[in-house]
């Protein structure tokens, strides 16, 4: 069935080009497979942040204080990603019933990271600077177009069940979320 197709391709005016495309197509999967087999030599975010910080968090709207109308729901997920970076994903259902979401990844040493937000689509929305103060406290600076938009602090409770996120006059209280409600 394919014999006619392949014989036509390889007898065409560009047999070298067809062979080159075939080789490139076959090789495109090789780096990913090879990378998965090599031993990891980088820094793991789990070595840099408290294990209690990692995982899903749900905002306790009643326990929080907002300077703007409070959202109906807010979720935040802390994970890790390549190069020892912390990956933070978030989703909010605002008071008007509109969803917004985004994510950013950054080192905990204040090295700039990029935030993508649903308002910006695939265009980088903010630059974030995430710094570890100690195992339970982290500082965040968010810039847009070179201007500081948010200066915030995360504080993890000693028991690891509550996370406070403070910026301006807003204090969002998050609790560990089991994703069942």
Give pLDDT tens digits for 125-139. 999 999 999 999 999
Q: Vertex 23, ends 22 and 28: CA angle to 5°?
A: 100
d(CA 125, CA 74): 19
Instruction: Give the integer Cα–Cα distance in Å for 52 and 141.
Output: 22
Task: Return the pLDDT at 50.
Answer: 85
Output 49 or 66, whichever has higher pLDDT. 66
Cα torsion 112, 113, 114, 118: sign: negative
pLDDT of residue 48: 75
| Predicted local confidence at residue 49, as pLDDT | 83
Residue with tokens 């504080």: 155
Return the SS3 of 122.
coil
Rounded to the nearest 10 degrees, the angle between the axes of helix 3-10 and helix 15-27 is 120
Poorest-confidence range of 18-27, 48-57, 117-126?
18-27
Q: Given pLDDT bands bounded at 50, 70 and 90, which one contains residue 45? A: low
pLDDT digits (tens, 9 = 90+) for 69-128: 999 999 999 998 888 899 999 999 999 999 999 999 999 999 999 999 999 988 999 999
pLDDT for position 30: 47
Q: How far apart are CA 68 and CA 82, in angstroms?
A: 35
Residue range 136-179, pLDDT digits in tens: 999 999 999 999 999 999 999 999 999 999 999 999 999 999 88
Write down the pTM of the prediction.
0.74
- Tell me, what's the pLDDT at 177? 94
What CATH code is assigned to 45-176?
2.40.128.20
In the chain, which residues fall in CATH 2.40.128.20?
45-176
- The residue whose two tokens read 């500082």 is 139
Residues 51 and 45: their CA atoms lie apart, in Å, by 9
Nearest-10 Cα torsion for 51, 52, 58, 61: -140
Q: How high is the mean pLDDT of the chain?
A: 83
The pair phi, psi for residue 82, each rounded to 5°, is -55, 150
Higher pLDDT, 33 or 141: 141
């Amino acid at each position: 069935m394919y014999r006619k197709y392949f014989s036509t391709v390889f007898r065409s005016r560009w047999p070298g080009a067809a062979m080159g495309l075939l080789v490139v197509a076959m090789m495109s999967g090789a780096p990913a497979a090879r990378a998965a087999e090599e031993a990891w030599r980088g820094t793991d975010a789990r070595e840099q942040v408290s294990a209690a910080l990692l995982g899903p968090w749900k905002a306790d709207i009643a326990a929080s204080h907002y300077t703007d109308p409070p959202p109906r729901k807010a979720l935040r997920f802390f994970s890790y990603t390549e190069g020892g970076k912390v990956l933070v994903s978030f989703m909010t259902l605002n008071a008007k019933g509109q969803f917004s979401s985004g994510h950013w990844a950054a080192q905990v040493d204040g090295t700039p990271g990029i935030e993508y937000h649903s308002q910006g689509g695939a265009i980088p929305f903010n630059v974030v600077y995430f710094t570890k103060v100690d195992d339970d406290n982290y500082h965040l600076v968010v810039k847009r177009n070179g201007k500081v938009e948010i200066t915030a602090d995360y504080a993890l409770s000693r028991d690891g069940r509550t996370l406070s996120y403070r910026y301006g006059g807003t204090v969002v209280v998050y609790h560990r979320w089991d994703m069942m409600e």
